[in-house]
């Protein structure tokens, strides 16, 4: 079932990527100084606000309103579920009608053990529908990596770019 789900997700991302065309990307390291815990590829058109220190979030955003946050935390593979719950609690506090389902509990992305959840919700102000994705990764340096994004449901390009960023997540 996981292989079928993953194949469908990869196919959807590939189709969405084809619709958005070729985009130049920059590599973003976390932390910005020293040996990175993880790297991502971010389209040049997205804004990037680096984390001030380890544990703080990198904030990145699309022109269409999609927002992503990424960070590392102390922990290990056994802590992944607790971190997913913390992310879900944050989303439920800041968005309404949140429905977030773990779609890949024991997956691997770019060699990293992970858990990934997808869902929907609504902006608290105005009720505009949003799409949500959250992932927690066991990193090669022994830390836990967290990535999540919230996208306006109509930001098709932002959602496609966010999926590409998500899938570029690596731990050197």
Residue 156 is inside which H or E element, if any? helix 156-167
* Tens-digit pLDDT profile for residues 147-167: 999 999 999 999 999 999 999
For 48, residues 6+ apart whose C-beta sits below 8 A from its C-beta are: 26, 28, 42, 58, 59, 60
State residue 150's pLDDT score: 95
Rounded CA separation 135/107 (Å): 10
φ/ψ region of 42 (left if φ > 0, alpha if ψ in -120 to 50, else beta) reads beta
| pTM, two decimal places | 0.80
Rounded CA separation 107/130 (Å): 24
Average of pLDDT values for 89-116? Answer: 87
Domains within the chain, CATH numbers bracketed? 2-167 (3.40.1000.10)
First to last CA, the chain: 29
pLDDT band per the 50, 70, 90 thresholds, residue 22: low
Rounded CA separation 73/144 (Å): 5
């Amino acid at each position: 079932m996981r292989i079928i789900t993953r194949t469908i997700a990869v196919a959807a991302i590939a189709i969405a990527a084809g619709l958005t065309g070729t985009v130049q990307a920059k590599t973003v390291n976390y932390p910005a100084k020293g040996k990175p815990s993880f790297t991502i590829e971010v389209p040049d058109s997205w804004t990037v606000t680096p984390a001030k220190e380890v544990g703080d979030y990198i904030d990145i955003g699309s022109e269409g309103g999609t927002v992503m946050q990424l960070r590392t935390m102390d922990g290990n593979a056994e802590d992944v579920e607790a971190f997913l719950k913390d992310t879900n609690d944050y989303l439920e506090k800041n968005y309404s009608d949140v429905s977030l389902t773990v779609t890949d509990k024991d997956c691997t992305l770019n060699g990293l053990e992970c858990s990934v959840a997808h869902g929907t919700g609504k902006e608290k102000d105005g009720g505009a529908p949003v799409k949500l994705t959250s992932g927690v990764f066991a990193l090669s340096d022994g830390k836990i990596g967290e990535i999540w994004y919230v996208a306006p449901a109509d930001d098709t390009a932002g959602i496609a770019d966010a999926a590409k960023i998500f899938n570029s997540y690596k731990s050197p």
